[in-house]
Structure 1
Amino acid sequence: MCIAVFLWQAHPLYPFFLLHNRDEHRSRPTEPVAWWDNGEILGGRDGLAGGTWLACSRNGKIAFVTNVREVGNVAEPKSRGELPVRFLESKKNPADFAKEVVMEAHRYNGFNLILVDLSSKSMIYVTNRSKDGDVLVSEVPPGIHVLSTASLDTPWPKAVRLRSNFEKFLEKHGGSELPAEEMANKLMTDTTKADKTKLSGIYSVDFEHSLSSIFVEANTEQGRYGTRSISAISVQISGEVAFYEKYLKEESWIEHTASYMVEQTGTG
């Protein structure tokens, strides 16, 4: 379970601005945000399957994935975390990579995938759990969007709350510089839970209630579960990217930021 709010091509200083929470079992091996072996991909890494929930590349690509809240699983599914990695490693633009994903989407459990190419100002949303049952590929329009474990911009209570609080920050700062770390630490640590009557009804009421806050802390049969990392990615019109992460290591929260300039290489 994850949640993200992002601003796309709708701010005078930031072509892209993202706040993101990754929720996962505490026992799942995880590596914090870092440059990967080839020095081209920056992101966190799942220590079990090797993929990522959120990462970016030096050539101006960004990708992140969430699961979809559902009952039942695909037999022997492929890891959803490999999708962002494959996009970042490929030479394909978001639309072309989305076509590749469509052909094999049935092999994954439910996912939402955001593909970004800053150079071409292109953002594509892909999900294999659309309302009509088909794989949905759509271009994301400029503006503010929220993605949780339902379709993009589904107005679940936590998504509505996050969007509203995000908009208040934007109104406060207008067209000036946004305090990414402050926003991440204020907006993404919200533990307010939804009214039980407004839950989706996919899981049990008690379990869904424990997941209904932006920042999640829950106990499950598999052990402790909840928000393990809080991230902010800001991309300035100059091409400077700042990737801030606050992650949980044992019982301590550790903060760090990595920055770089987008290489203007274009995509094919």
Structure 2
Amino acid sequence: MEEGKEGGTWLGISKKGKMAALTNYMQPKIDKNAKGRGALVTNFLTTDLDSYSYLKKVALEGHLYNGFNLIAADLNTTKGDVICYYGNKGDPEPTFLNPGMYGLSNSLLDTPWKKLQYGKQLFSDVVGGSQGLAKEDLVQELIKVMNNQDPQLPDPAIEDQGKDYILPILNQYAAVCVRCPGYGTRTNTVVLIDAEGHVTFTERTMLDADVDQWKTSTYQFKLQM
């Protein structure tokens, strides 16, 4: 939405099975002249490079951006999924992610912030109890997780990374869902992919920066292998 940064996104998936997700890395000072991070997702979705090769290429230019984390995936129900991660404040090389459950906030992958650990536990509880749940009900349960506003404090790791910048909003920031005047969570996205490659993409978006107005959109398609 920022001027000069149009056309980017935080999370996307293509019918060819390419998926990417981006988070900012919280830092007290940012470079306003750095390259826009939103194109990192859209460029992957439209390139022919595989996820690891793409992240290797991004890593060569990682210093040109403010802090970010990028997940890139090649999803294939026949050959198996390949999912990779790169954070420009962490290791210089991308890493392959083994099957499992991961958490990513505004620090490096699986940095043990309390809200991240709490969110993973809530997520695990929903997935563990999802047998027999209708798909629509599972989506709603996951959206409920993403809207949890219980602050997980104290958290010295967040304070250390955010310094004085984060202290005024620490109570709100230390929750899975952030609600501050002029800053916070404005979109929830759930992507479900079944064993046959059917994708259900549900997005809940705040309207006009009004926390009481939301629009939910759902798209369904099958991956083209």
Compute the TM-score of the two structures, normalised by the length of structure 1: 0.74
Contact kept in structure 2, 1:157 and 1:198, CA below 8 Å:
no
- Give the structure 1 partner of residue 201 of structure 2: 243
Letter in 2 for 1:121: D
- State the Cα distance separating 1:207 from its structure 2 match: 2.3
Determine helix, strand or coil for the equivalent of 1:186: helix
Contact kept in structure 2, 1:180 and 1:234, CA below 8 Å:
no
Letter in 1 for 2:177: F
Distance in 2 (CA, whole Å) between partners of 1:243 and 1:257 is: 6
For each residue in 1:5-35, what CA deviation from the matched residue of structure 2 results, as whole angstroms up to 9, or x when unmatched?
xxxxxxxxxxxxxxxxxxxxxxx46xxxxxx
Distance in 2 (CA, whole Å) between partners of 1:142 and 1:176 is: 23
Distance in 2 (CA, whole Å) between partners of 1:75 and 1:253 is: 30
Unaligned 5+ residue runs, structure 1? 1-27, 30-45
Alignment of 1:17-96 (within 5 A): 28=1, 48-74=5-31, 76-96=33-53
1:227 aligns with 2:185: yes
Unaligned 5+ residue runs, structure 2? none
- Give the structure 2 partner of residue 36 of structure 1: none
Distance in 2 (CA, whole Å) between partners of 1:92 and 1:168 is: 36
1:210 aligns with 2:167: no
CA RMSD of aligned residues (A): 2.1
Task: State how many pairs are aligned.
Answer: 214
Bigger strand share: 1
- State the Cα distance separating 1:171 from its structure 2 match: 2.0
Distance in 2 (CA, whole Å) between partners of 1:172 and 1:210 is: 28
Distance in 2 (CA, whole Å) between partners of 1:152 and 1:109 is: 16
Higher RCO (CA < 8 A, seq sep 6+): 1
Q: 1:48 to 1:108 in 2, by over 3 A?
A: closer
Instruction: Give percent identity, aligned residues only.
Output: 28
Contact kept in structure 1, 2:5 and 2:38, CA below 8 Å:
no
Compute the TM-score of the two structures, normalised by the length of structure 2: 0.87
- Give the structure 1 partner of residue 154 of structure 2: 196
Q: Say which of 231, 253, 257 aligns to 2:214.
A: 253
Distance in 2 (CA, whole Å) between partners of 1:217 and 1:107 is: 30
Q: Say which of 114, 120, 128 aligns to 2:88.
A: 128
Distance in 2 (CA, whole Å) between partners of 1:80 and 1:199 is: 24
Bigger helix share: 2
